[in-house]
Amino acid sequence: MFCKNCSASIQEDAAFCPKCGTAQGAHHPHMPPPVYNVVIQREIPPANGLATASMIMGILALTILGPIGGILGFIFALRAKSLGNRGGKATAGLIMSIISLVFWLLVVGVFIFGIVLTRIY
C-alpha cells in the first residue's frame, strides 16, 4: 500500500504514513476517535453588579439610608433588568426598594398627619 500524500510504501494496516504523518483512511477499530479540545464558556448574566447594588440598597433603605437608598435601589434594579439580568438579586432589590419606599412614605405621612393634628387641636 502507498501513502495518499507522499506515495511512500507503508504497511496495509497503517493508520498514518511513517514518512509524512498523513492519516491513511477511515478510523481503524483499534484507534480511538480523535479528541478535540473544546472550551465551554459559561454565560455570565449581564449587569450583575447593578443587581447586587440594588439588593444592597433595598436592604439598607429599610435600615439606615431611608428613601434615598430606596430610590437608588429602585433605579439600579430597573437598570439591571433592562440590561438583561433576570436573576434573583435584581428582583429582590426591586422588591426591597419598593417596600422601603412605601414604608418611608407611610412614616413621612404619619409624621405630617401628626403635625397637622397637633396644630388643629
pLDDT digits (tens, 9 = 90+) for 45-91: 566 788 888 888 888 888 888 888 888 888 988 888 888 887 788 88
Residue 91: which region, alpha, beta or left (left: phi > 0; alpha: psi -120 to 50)? alpha
Cα 41–Cα 42–Cα 46 angle in degrees, nearest 5: 120
d(CA 11, CA 30): 15
Query: Per this entry, what is the length of the chain?
Result: 121
Which residues pair with residue 16 across a beta bridge? 23
**Per-residue pLDDT reduced to its tens digit, 23-47:** 877 545 555 666 677 777 776 556 6
- CA 61, 66, 71, 75 torsion-angle sign: negative
